[in-house]
Structure 1
Amino acid sequence: MKKMLRVFLMLPVICLSGCWSSIELNKLAIVTAMGIDKTEDGYLVTVQILNPSELAGDARSGRTEVVTFKKSGATIYEAIRGLSTDVPRRIYVAHLREVVFGEEMAREGIGKPLDVLSRHKEIRSDFYMTVAKGSTAYDTLNVQTALEKVPANKVFDALENSEKRWAPTRTVTLDELVSSIVSKGREPMLTGIKVYGDPESGSNVKNAQNISPNSGLRLDYLGVFKRDKLVGWLNKNDSKGVSYITDHVKSTAVNIPCEGDQITVNTTSSKTKIKGKMEKGNPKIDINVTSEGSIGEVECTIDLTKPEKIEELNKRYEKDIKAKIEGSIKTVQEKYQCDIFGFGEEIHRTDPKAWKRLEGNWENEFANLDVNVTVKAKIRNLGTISESFQKEIEE
């Protein structure tokens, strides 16, 4: 009985202790995206804040679903606090969906911004990191988007969708980015975001109401980093090659030549295994890729009912994947000399003693690293028809 009485008396204390630091929702400015640019005197921080009155209920005033604010400061933290002079609510960053760095900021180094993001107690690590290719973070976050009311959600969902279905892009969280920066055998990479059309018209709410918007946001390809500094960009094929090497291809389209035209193969599954080894004191990497696909489109008159034709397509399918992988390795080795593939980590796992000797000069070792690529690819499905209509049209 005494124990029950003590528990009963403690209940009010427990309940009160759970809400002593609570803040009402109407006192919070919920940030969905943050942009960081470099200025002469410090940093420019841009935040995209939800406008709850336009998102809840059926009644609309015609205002935008999000509002963008910006503030300069000697430090990023100072700029964030300085936003309180414009925003009548407390800045709340626990629901971030995207952080975008201006390209100039990324080339100078993102180490200091990452310190702020990692240190902030309210920030979770489940948002995605990106770079504004050829523009500022402010211009990127100032664009109204169609289909999605909240531009940050548009970018977040597009990154996930593109990684699953296209392959030249990548979702990277805060923890993944920091881990690759501090790693001795892997360098970071981030997906770029381009503002297309007229950036000034993109901030107008009518831009998202047009059937063909004057401006918008489009995912680009992968940006290559050396430690915390952006050093350059990869094209579509090289970005796909990186995804194959790092085992991030879930599905993608592969065009292969076919009797004067081409066939598109839909890759339905792909698996990559990387093995590092030491031979005669030199590091070597073996890459083995196994892919399967189905016929997605036929633009030639090939007879897909003949096994020898399918086998020929399989070889061309393998050749295309191998060319993308070897092309990306060559580009990164010759142009950037930074190991975004994680080959150094694989050597470290395979032979820790050898890695101790190689670690200090891994940049040069990577640039001359011998990489052997083996690809096995097969077309498993021809689709719902075996012969193309193209043959009938041409006859």
Structure 2
Amino acid sequence: MKKCIFGILFFSLFLSGCWDRRELNQLAIAVAIGFDKVDDEYLVSAQVVVPSEISAKGGTGSSQVTLFTASGETVYEAFRKMTKESPRKIYPGHLQILVIGEGLAQEGISESLDVLSRDYEVRPDFYVVVAKEISATEILNVTTTIESVPANKMFKSLNVSEKAWAGTKSINLDELISDLISDGKEAAITGIRLIGDPKVGSSKQNVESITPAANLRYDHLAVFKGDKLVGWLTEDETVAFSFISNTVKSTVRPISCPKEGKATIEIIRSKAEVKGNINNGKPEVDVNVKVEGNIGSVECKININDLETIAELEKIYEKRAEEIANDAFESIQKQFNADIFGFGEAIHRSNPKEWNKMKNNWDEEFSNLTMNYNVDLEILRTGTINKTFLKEIKE
């Protein structure tokens, strides 16, 4: 018995315990980070929570976050330089959003992402966005309403927008790196803009009025080739991309009524199947999209109890959706020659031997690629009223 106790005590000497723990009062918790390039140096910004303002009992009504910035020849050096201003070491373990300035994105983002991908303290589930026509620092310097922590606003807005509107796309660090290194797919990242006056936007005054002087708004997708930003999609192109890449959760699309006026279709489910083929030695893809939706609004005089009318609305939607998708694909193909759809990966899945022959020359192959796009809409519900009251309105 004594030998057993002695053995336990002996081996307990080799237990490490929490040797590397750090108390919360020793850390500056960063919830958003921005990367910019100024001349030949990286400018790194960290939006850090102010503990006394976040706590339930404390708080003086001041901003719940503060912004630290530093520059360096590398991103890692800039992070360490922040300790010249911050009383605590920047801790990125609760990072929610990374904002990349447009200027840096045009030069290339791979080197700036390296430090985050290798840091064991960083969880890769934060979202990455690109600041459009403005620096990342200016984006992180804007105060926001409803969500007093701007990083929370950006994170939640992107979540909500992606689920309710097909014009944005969330992408985390692991997904982005996967797209950057893939032979058959290029990256596409949602853009974010500052609307209004940036000077007022950084002050408390911005959140004290019903209509803020400055606000953050998500824009369309940024197109990358390799790790460099090469341009921006339009709204129709962004929506078409979302359907093709099977990322649509829900959205609404207006269509023309059979004679005059508009109706709106609420898309509640969408599933895209992409199949790669080799036809006469040339690659092509078939994209079949199955869509289910409801009639969200009717701004024309039609009888939605009539099955023929419903069928006609479905055909109108399908024709318009196919036109938008084909126009978007041709525009992206000619303007950017960037396979953000992952069609190369589809060719690889279906014809691995042929793909190995063409993958090193995929840019040229993609520029001549044929996409066969087909949409099938099924309208499930027409709403709580059987007919529109517009017929009863006297002209």
Pick which of 196-205 and 206-215 moved more.
Answer: 206-215
Cα separation, partners in 2 of 1:394 and 1:367, compared to 1, 3 Å: farther
| Aligned residues of 1:317 and 1:378 also touching (Cα < 8 A) | no
> In the alignment, what sits opposite 2:88?
89
Shift of 1:305: 1.1
1:56 match: 55
Q: What is the aligned partner in structure 2 of residue 106 from structure 1?
A: 105
Q: Distance in 2 between matches of 1:118 and 1:356?
A: 29
2:143 corresponds to: 144
Consecutive unaligned residues of structure 1, counting only runs of 5 or more, are none
CA distance in 1, matches of 2:16, 2:108: 42
SS in 2 for 1:17: coil
Match of 1:337 in 2: 337
- Residue 391 of structure 1, CA deviation: 1.6
Q: Which residue of 2 is the match for residue 295 of structure 1?
A: 295
Correspondence list, 1:149-298, <5 A: 149-258=148-257, 259-298=259-298
1:47-78 residue CA offsets vs partner (Å, 9 max, x unmatched): 00001111112432122100011111111111
Q: Which residue of the partner structure matches residue 347 of structure 1?
A: 347
Does structure 2 retain, via aligned residues, the 8 Å contact 1:195–1:215? yes
**Alpha-carbon deviation of 1:41?**
2.8
Task: Describe the superposition over 1:369-391 as per-residue Cα deviations: whole angstroms up to 9, x where unpaired.
Answer: 01101111011100101111222
User: Does the Cα contact within 8 Å between 1:254 and 1:320 map onto a contact in 2?
Assistant: no
* Aligned partner of residue 309 in structure 2, secondary structure: helix
- Alignment match, 1:19: 18
Counterpart residue type for residue 313 of structure 1: L
1:281 and 1:138 map into 2 onto residues whose CA distance is 49
SS at structure 2 position matched to 1:219: strand
User: C-alpha deviations, 1:77-98, integer Å up to 9, x for none?
Assistant: 1111000000001110011001
Contact 1:163 1:250 in 2 (8 A): yes
The amino acid of 1:344's aligned partner reads G
Letter in 1 for 2:160: N
| Letter paired with 1:314 | E
For residues 50 and 88 of structure 1, what CA distance do their matches in structure 2 show?
Answer: 13
Contact preservation (8 Å) 1:169, 1:191: yes
Query: By how many angstroms is 1:177 displaced?
Result: 0.6
- Look up the match of 1:128: 127
Give the corresponding residue for 1:119: 118
Question: Is the 1:274–1:286 Cα contact (8 Å) retained in structure 2?
Answer: yes
Q: Give, in whole Å, the separation in 1 of the partners of 2:334 and 2:319.
A: 22
Counterpart amino acid of 1:91?
Answer: I
Pairwise CA distance, 1:17:
2.3
Q: Any conservation in 2 of the 1:241–1:327 contact (CA below 8 Å)?
A: no
Partner SS state of residue 147, structure 2: coil
Name the count of aligned residue pairs: 394
Amino acid at match of 1:391: K
Structure 2 CA distance, aligned partners of 1:281 and 1:111?
34
Report the CA distance shift for 1:33/1:3 in structure 2 as closer, same or farther (over 3 A).
farther
Distance 1:35 1:307 in 2: 53
SS at match of 2:99: strand
Distance across 2 between alignment mates of 1:203 and 1:269? 40
Q: Which amino acid aligns with 1:374?
A: N
1:260 is paired with a residue of what secondary structure? coil
| Contact 1:251 1:269 survives alignment (8 Å) | yes
CA distance in 1, matches of 2:6, 2:244: 62
Offset of residue 13 of structure 1: 4.7
Shift of 1:21: 1.2
The separation in 1 between residues aligned to 2:250 and 2:216, in whole angstroms, is 23
CA displacement at 1:320 relative to structure 2: 2.4
- Distance in 2 between the 1:57 and 1:107 partners? 42
Q: Cα offset for 1:206?
A: 2.3
Amino acid at match of 1:139: E
- Evaluate the alpha carbon distance shift between residue 87 and residue 11 of structure 1 in structure 2; reply closer, same or farther with a 3 A threshold: farther
Cα distance in 2 for partners of 1:4, 1:299 equals 84
Alignment of 1:55-74 (within 5 A): 55-74=54-73
* Aligned counterparts of 2:113 and 2:100: Cα–Cα separation in 1: 11
How far apart are the structure 1 equivalents of 2:329 and 2:349?
Answer: 21
Identical pairs, percent? 46
What residue is the counterpart of 1:80 in the other structure? 79
Question: Are 2:316 and 1:321 equivalent residues in the alignment?
Answer: no
Deviation at 1:326, TM superposition (A): 1.2
Which residue of 2 is the match for residue 389 of structure 1?
389
Structure 1 pair 3–211 and aligned structure 2 pair: CA distance change class (3 A): farther
* Contact 1:225/1:232, CA 8 A, preserved across alignment: yes
CA distance in 2, matches of 1:13, 1:263: 74
Partners of 1:40 and 1:329 lie apart in 2 by 36
Distance 2:262 2:12 in 1: 73
Q: What amino acid maps onto 1:342 in structure 2? A: G
CA-based RMSD of the aligned residues comes to 1.5
Three-state SS of the structure 1 residue aligned to 2:125 is coil
Within 2, Cα distance between the matches of 1:151 and 1:143?
Answer: 7
**Secondary structure class of the residue paired with 1:106:** helix
